[in-house]
Amino acid sequence: ELSRLEEFRDTVAATSDGERVVLRANIGLVSDVAVALRNGAEGVGLYRTEFPYMARGSFPDRDDQYQLYRKVIEGFAGQPVTIRTLDIGGDKVLPYFTPPREDNPFMGWRSVRVSLDNRDIFRTQLEAILMAGVHGPVKLLFPMISGLEEVRACKLVLAEARANLAREGIAAAERLPLGVMIEVPAAVQMAPQLAREVDFFALGTNDLIQYMLAADRNNPLVNKYYDPLHPAILRVLHEVAEVANREGKGLCLCGEMGSDPINFLVLLGMGIREFSMPAPFIPRTKALLARLPLKVARKAAREALTLVDSISIRAHLAKVLSSLD
């Protein structure tokens, strides 16, 4: 079966009736680049930059970060790389940056909140990304955005980073498409307004599910409540897809749920055309697409959105999948 999947590396991702789908890779360390290329990823939909920060003994300086990002960008030879700014806190800690003790770390001082409270670290990272963006197409992604204020605050720091580089006479990427993660429920409600501030959305279902359903993504005791096919989850994902499509903004789903065939079927059917996933799942997803007519996925999603419990939703989607030839 593996060798059969290998065949899909160089085929274009599309439904059996020719609807184009873009499959990108989630990466963390530079070693993931080779894995992504081997599996035929069309660039990177999510580069989790906290991973290289976690893997060392101290904060990398601007040049270290620049070299690292440059290596990744050059590895993809012209395919876009979506670089997400530091997303520490919650479950991700840096060995040299002790977070304060918090009762609820996932609802606490994490992600872009840490960046906005540590402007020097944030600005330095943005400078490194702007510098690396000279070497290939880069998109810039801000995590854990809950409203307009944070996006605007991030843009101000980006402007400072640009000004610093200009003052130093260092080349910077001229235009960097900007995006926000949609992973806090408030951001779903604010999606129409956020769309006017940015070029694209990245749907972070790992966090969005845990915040929507109040079920810690890492706590086995509440694992059964952490349900990607909960009808409330399908409704918000559908809403985000509709807003992005209506506003003409890019939308890439980069949460883990996208790599499961049952979930993929409903996500495609509700209008999502770009996915980012751990690269080993890409060939399998292409193989599924090759057997799947878009109208079947659309109908499956339409039905699923009328169902009101996840058992029925899952059963319905599983039946559609098993009916494919």
Contact call for residue 204 and ligand PEP (CB under 6 A): yes
Residue 262 CB, nearest approach to Mg ion (Å): 22
Among 70, 82, 133, 84, CA closest to 112: 84
Q: Which amino acid is at 150?
A: E
**Separation between Cα atoms, residue 322 and residue 318, nearest integer Å:** 6
Contact call for residue 150 and Mg ion (CB under 5 A): no
Among 253, 202, 205, 193, CA closest to 232: 205
Residues 33-72 that bind ligand PEP (CB under 6 A): 46, 48
Give the tokens for residue 231: 């009808």
Instruction: Choose between 8 and 275: whose C-beta lies nearer to ligand PEP.
Output: 275
Q: Of these, 127, 150, 207, 216, which contacts ligand PEP (CB under 6 A)?
A: 207
Contact of 306 with 230, CB cutoff 8 Å: no
Residues 173-202 that bind Mg ion (CB under 5 A): 183
Q: Of these, 32, 87, 127, 227, which contacts ligand PEP (CB under 6 A)?
A: 87
Q: Of these, 49, 115, 146, 205, which contacts ligand PEP (CB under 6 A)?
A: 205
Contact call for residue 110 and ligand PEP (CB under 6 A): no
Question: What does 274 interact with, of Mg ion, ligand PEP, none (CB < 5 to 8 A by kind)?
Answer: none
Instruction: Choose between 48 and 238: whose C-beta lies nearer to ligand PEP.
Output: 48
CA 154 to chain centre: 18
Contact call for residue 207 and Mg ion (CB under 5 A): yes
Which span sits near ligand PEP by CB under 6 A: 13-21, 125-133, 199-207, 309-317? 199-207
Q: Give the length of the chain.
A: 325
Backbone angles phi, psi at 213, to 5 degrees: -100, 5
Instruction: Choose between 65 and 276: whose C-beta lies nearer to ligand PEP.
Output: 276
**Largest Cα–Cα separation, the chain:** 62
3-state DSSP assignment of residue 273: coil
Instruction: Choose between 60 and 258: whose C-beta lies nearer to ligand PEP.
Output: 258
3-state DSSP assignment of residue 183: coil
**Shortest-Cβ-distance residue relative to Mg ion:** 207
Contact of 251 with 274, CB cutoff 8 Å: yes
Which span sits near ligand PEP by CB under 6 A: 71-79, 133-141, 202-210, 229-237? 202-210
What dihedral angle (degrees, nearest 10) is formed by the CA atoms of 100, 105, 109, 113? 150
Burial 24-60 (b: 16+ CB within 10 A, else e): bbbbbeeebbebbbebbbbbbbbbbbbebbbeeeebb
Instruction: Choose between 235 and 298: whose C-beta lies nearer to ligand PEP.
Output: 235
Residues 244-283 that bind ligand PEP (CB under 6 A): 254-255
Contact call for residue 32 and Mg ion (CB under 5 A): no
Question: What does 172 interact with, of Mg ion, ligand PEP, none (CB < 5 to 8 A by kind)?
Answer: none
Site of interaction with Mg ion (CB under 5 A): 183, 204, 207
